[in-house]
Amino acid sequence: MTNDGLSTIAANIVSVFSQSQIGTNPQNPQTTRVGLITYNQKAYQNADLNKYQSVDDLFEIFYDLNSTSNVEQSILSAGLAKAENLFAEESSGTISRSHYKKVVIVYASSYRDDGPNDPIPVANRLKGSGITIVTVGFDQAGDGELLKKLANVATPGYNFTNTEEGGNLLGRIQGALIETNCFCPTNWIQYRQNHSDPNSYRYGVCIELVGMAAVWKAAKMSCANRWKNSYMVNEYNQQKHDFVLDVVKDNQTGFSDPFSYHIGLSLVSGKWRWDQPNGWEQPILQYWFHWNPMYPTIDSTLTVVLNAQDNEEVATGWENTGAMSTPANYICETSACDTDNYCSSAGR
C-alpha cells in the first residue's frame, strides 16, 4: 500500500461516515462509533472506539494513516484478531451497546493465507459471533486473485474493489452498512427473499413464533405487547405466506404437523382487515388471498383467521374461526430495527 493509497483510504472512510452521528452521546443513542486498526506483520490500534466523537474528528484519520510501513509482510489475520479484541474490550460501558451491530471494513492490497497467517479462521469466528465483514480490495496486480481470496473473508455479498463498476464503491460500502443495521431483535426472525438462503435480500420485517396455544383475541394482545409496535403477522402475498410456513416447519418448539396457527386477519365492519399496531389504520384484504376450499364460512361468529393444514400432504390455507373459541399457536410481526427505527435493548 502506497502513501497515496493510504490517503485514498482515509478519504473513503471519512466519506462513508460523513452523514453519520459519530461518537457516544448519552442523550442520543442513535450514534456510530469508529475505531482504526492498521497491520503489517503485526497489528496496531491507531484509534479505539471512543477516540472519534464527531465527523470532524474523523479527519484525524488522515494523520493516523500518514505513512506506510517498511515491513513488506501484510498479515490480515493479525488485523482481524486485533479488531476482535477491540470489540471485546469496548463493548461494555455506562451505556450498553451490546445490541448495536458491529462491522469490520477491511482495506487490503495483498493477502497471505499460508499456515498460521490464514485469516479465514478469525474471519469465520467474527462472522459466527454476528459481526459483519466488508472487504475492499486494492487489486494492484490486476489479476483478480486478491478479490477472490477476500471474498472468503467477507460476509457474502460484501466483497468490493476500488475499481467498482460505475465508480460506486462509496455507495456499495454504505449500502452494506445500511443492510447490516437492518436487523431483528433477539428471538425474532427477519423476513428475507429466500428462506433457504440466509444471505438473500432481507426485508425490514421481523416475525416471532409463539408455540403456546391461545385463542385469537388473546394472541392479538400477546403480540401487541411483545415489542415496540408489534402485531399479528400479515400475509400480503404468496411469498410471505410461504416464508412464514417454512419458518414454522423449521421450528422445533410447539409446532407440529398438521400445522395450525393464528394470523392477523379479522373481519372488521364487514371487511377482512390485517392487524396493525394500536391506533394504526388496518389495511383491507385486497388482491391476494389464500383461503382453504369452502372458506371463508359465512357466520357472524367466525370473524378471525388461522392458517390450517388439513393433512401433512397439503400446504396451509386460511380458515375463519371464532375469536374466543379456537386455541392455536400464533405468529407475531414487527418492523426491523434500523437507522430510523431505533430499538433499545428492552424493545420499548
Q: Specify whether 170 is located in the same domain as 202.
A: no
Separation CA 271–CA 283 (nearest Å): 10
The torsion region of residue 271 among left (phi > 0), alpha (psi -120 to 50) and beta comes to beta
Half-sphere exposure of 119 (CA within 13 A, CB side): 30
Which CATH number is 284's domain given?
A: 3.10.100.10
Q: Is residue 160 part of a domain?
A: yes
Q: Specify whether 150 is located in the same domain as 249.
A: no
Q: What is the pLDDT of residue 104?
A: 98
Q: Is residue 98 part of a domain?
A: yes
Q: Is residue 323 part of a domain?
A: yes
Quickly count: other Cβ atoms within 10 Å of residue 187's Cβ: 10
Report the chain's mean pLDDT, rounded to a whole number.
Answer: 90
Q: Is residue 346 part of a domain?
A: no
Nearest CA to 78 out of 105, 46, 116, 107 is that of 116
**Mean pLDDT on 291-311:** 94
Q: Is residue 24 part of a domain?
A: yes
Q: pLDDT digit string (tens) for 201-237?
A: 899 999 999 999 999 999 999 999 999 999 999 999 9
Nearest CA to 19 out of 169, 174, 216 is that of 174
- The helix or strand, by DSSP H or E, that contains position 47, with its residue range, turns out to be strand 43-47
Separation CA 102–CA 323 (nearest Å): 43
Lowest mean pLDDT among 55-64, 169-178, 225-234: 55-64
**Cis upstream peptide for 283 (omega within 30°):** no
Q: Examine the fold and report which residue of 181, 199, 226 is the final residue of a domain before the chain moves on.
A: 181
Full residue range of the structural domain in which residue 117 is found:
3-181
Q: Examine the fold and report which residue of 181, 214, 234 is the final residue of a domain before the chain moves on.
A: 181
Query: Over 80: is that where the pLDDT of 309 sits?
Result: yes
Query: Over 90: is that where the pLDDT of 253 sits?
Result: no
Q: Is residue 293 part of a domain?
A: yes
Dihedral angle computed from the Cα positions of residues 285, 286, 287 and 291, in that order, rounded to the nearest 10 degrees: 40
**Mean pLDDT on 152-177:** 88
DSSP lists the bridge partners of residue 330 as 210, 262
**pTM of structure:** 0.84
Q: What is the pLDDT of residue 312?
A: 65
Q: What is the pLDDT of residue 217?
A: 98
